[in-house]
Amino acid sequence: MCVGRKFLAIAALLLSSAANAATFLVAINTPQYAGMNATLIFDFVDGGSPDNTVSVDSFSFNGVLGAAIVIGSVSGQIDSKLVFQDAQFFNEFQQRMTLGSSLSFIVVSTDGSDASSFPDSFSLFLLDELGASSLVGTSDPTGANTLARLDLAGAFENYAPDILTIAPLAVPEPASRVLFVLPIAILLILRKYKIKLLSTEAA
């Protein structure tokens, strides 16, 4: 493959991976629940193909964290980064905590979708310390008192606007992505050809 075609292939790969993501800042205001024991729950349900992932990071919290329970394909910790994969149908992370006045985190999801299958979905709940009943009444149409639900490749629905805010975070514009991707692709190509040149001179 010629240099130009290699360059374009690398650039296209990096650009496509940067474009297929959605990022949201989620904040929950809980001053009325401060000091209460609660369970924050994230559910990730596989609707079908293609494969997707959701990550939760940049967790900010002024309460006290307790034990965590993991079900399915979830890795990491809430105070660093959680990664949800849809290798299984149902995937859940439960975090016991003593609530402070607020908490926030960033949700990043791939947005692959297939018209022949249901979309993957990511939901969050705020339940009592036993994880049995919701601390908050919401407008969730299913009656499950979900705080919010993200259908991948769709909208992030807020069912508790009195305590919850969801703000989409800007992703890099195409021009800025190109400025980021091009130097990486060039360096990879130059590195390969430098190795070839050194091998020729040595011979």
pLDDT of 7 higher than 60: no
The whole-number pLDDT of residue 154 equals: 76
Q: Rg of the chain's alpha carbons, rounded to an integer?
A: 21
Q: What is the pLDDT of residue 138?
A: 97
Query: How far apart are the C-alpha atoms of 127 and 40, rounded to whole Å?
Result: 6
In the predicted model, is pLDDT for residue 17 greater than 80?
Answer: no
Between 174-202 and 3-19, two packed helices, what is the crossing angle to 10 degrees?
A: 140
pTM above 0.85, yes or no: no
